């Protein structure tokens, strides 16, 4: 499979394998054909190529990343693999090294990796504790312009809920987010007056016409129930812009009846959930010299059964919150399948890296129908077990019907940042 050997703009790819749900059909995988002309999905073309059952997907949406944190592991490794260790290490590194040039170089590296793997839309969180907000948001705005037409970019601000003040420095951050066309974001954890803070937060978002995105209950403490409070506050305030909640780990440690009751509220509030299984597996239930008992993943099956839109995303890459990762959505879905037992279940989980995140963020919906851009990821795998058994390093990525160069950036490019002067 090498489109550089095909000297025709218009072609029909016969004998391809596509998840039925992406074609609006019932069932699992189907063998069919897909045609390309003028950079778009088209009606059948006279030149045909047998693809031997290769799987075809639209390009991916990665709706929860941290491009600004990415790839600092070389100078700021997590000392013990814990969540607290990650918080403290990132905070120290941010204060010492996150200049505009440093952030730009690392974010660009991450975007090049994501693009090579077949991602066409990303939402990134940006640490926005002053003065970092005035450094990172202009960098993001420049990168969004630079990457236009290759990766659609969104950003959400990120602060801890204890730093939120409707009349304090966060007002400037919120205005910066609004001017940049961003998303208002915050990390929630138990505070005595969190309900009041959330009400004010949603008021600020509504006044600026912004949607909301929260890091929620990233802990296995069953007493952490800020997800429930967010759902109640959305219902009580009538906030009608999209609300995304990420992580939601504590649900997996709670009493079953209580957790299910919370999920009923989440469904009623219309929240979008994004699960980050790789990062949560790395951080949660980590104790010295003790085998972890819990996976950290939230209750995705129970959410899906209630009609709650569920997505999976990369989260952190090679930073103290996750030492690994490469913004590869096939890896994300492969690991989510293993960690969350998505196999032997519904046959439409692929929506979690395509349709669901695009809808949650307002990106263009992925499509394989005639007229849609021919932005495709093609893998030699012919079935789910073949897809998930190997990393699909030889995948083909087409953008507007043209095969891109999938050469990944070399980690050595970042060496000068790992030895800051």
Catalytic positions are 218
Among candidates 196, 195, 166, which has minimal Cα distance to 184? 166
Decide: 226 and 188 in contact? Cβ < 8 Å.
Answer: yes
Any idea of the CA torsion for 225, 228, 230, 231, to the nearest 10 degrees? 170
Quote the CA–CA distance of 261 and 233 in Å, as a whole number. Answer: 15
Quote the CA–CA distance of 392 and 108 in Å, as a whole number. Answer: 23
> Residue 392 contacts by C-beta under 8 Å, 6 or more apart in sequence?
330, 379, 380, 381
Quote the CA–CA distance of 298 and 313 in Å, as a whole number. Answer: 13
Token pair for residue 107?
Answer: 């974010």
Decide: 250 and 220 in contact? Cβ < 8 Å.
Answer: yes
Decide: 399 and 311 in contact? Cβ < 8 Å.
Answer: no
Quote the CA–CA distance of 346 and 301 in Å, as a whole number. Answer: 9
Decide: 175 and 208 in contact? Cβ < 8 Å.
Answer: yes
Is residue 262 classed as helix, strand or coil in its secondary structure? helix
Which DSSP helix (H) or strand (E) runs through 18? strand 11-19
Q: Kindly report the CA angle at 64 between 68 and 381, in degrees rounded to 5?
A: 110
Residue given tokens 């290769």 in the structure block: 54
What is the edge-to-edge ordering of all strands in the sheet holding 310-312?
Answer: 184-188, 212-216, 243-247, 272-275, 310-312
């Amino acid at each position: 499979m090498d489109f550089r050997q095909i000297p025709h703009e218009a072609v029909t790819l016969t004998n391809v394998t596509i998840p039925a749900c992406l074609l609006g059909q019932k069932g699992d995988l189907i063998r069919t054909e897909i045609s390309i002309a003028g950079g778009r999905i088209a009606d059948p073309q006279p030149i045909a190529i047998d693809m031997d059952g290769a799987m075809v997907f639209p390009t991916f949406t990665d709706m929860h990343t941290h491009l600004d944190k990415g790839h600092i592991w070389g100078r700021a490794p997590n000392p013990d693999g814990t969540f607290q260790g990650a918080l403290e290490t990132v905070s120290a590194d941010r204060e010492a090294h996150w200049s505009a040039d440093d952030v730009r170089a690392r974010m660009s590296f991450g975007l090049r990796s994501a693009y090579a793997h077949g991602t066409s839309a990303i939402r990134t969180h940006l640490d926005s504790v002053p003065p970092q907000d005035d450094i990172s948001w202009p960098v993001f705005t420049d990168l969004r312009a630079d990457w236009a037409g290759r990766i659609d970019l969104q950003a959400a601000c990120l602060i801890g809920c204890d730093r939120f003040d409707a009349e304090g420095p966060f007002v400037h951050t919120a205005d910066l987010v609004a001017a940049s066309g961003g998303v208002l974001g915050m990390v929630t954890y138990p505070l005595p007056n969190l309900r009041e803070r959330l009400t004010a937060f949603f008021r600020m978002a509504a006044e600026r016409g912004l949607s909301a995105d929260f890091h929620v209950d990233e802990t296995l403490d069953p007493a952490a129930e800020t997800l429930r409070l967010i759902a109640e506050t959305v219902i009580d305030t009538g906030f009608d812009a999209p609300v995304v909640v990420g992580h939601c780990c504590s649900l997996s440690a709670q009493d079953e009846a209580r957790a299910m009751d919370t999920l009923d509220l989440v469904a009623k509030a219309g929240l979008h959930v994004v699960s980050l299984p790789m990062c949560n597996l790395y951080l949660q239930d980590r104790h010295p010299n003790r085998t972890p008992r819990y996976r950290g993943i939230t209750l995705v099956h129970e959410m899906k059964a209630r009609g709650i839109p569920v997505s999976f995303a990369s989260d952190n890459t090679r930073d103290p919150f996750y030492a690994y990762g490469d913004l590869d959505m096939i890896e994300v879905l492969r690991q989510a399948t293993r960690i969350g037992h998505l196999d032997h279940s519904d046959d439409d989980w692929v929506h979690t890296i395509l349709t669901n995140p695009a809808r949650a963020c307002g990106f263009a919906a992925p499509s394989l129908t005639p007229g849609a851009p021919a932005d495709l990821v093609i893998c030699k795998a012919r079935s789910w077990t073949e897809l998930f058994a190997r990393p699909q390093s030889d995948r083909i990525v087409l953008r507007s019907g043209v095969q891109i160069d999938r050469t990944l950036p070399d980690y050595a490019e970042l060496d000068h940042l790992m030895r800051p002067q």
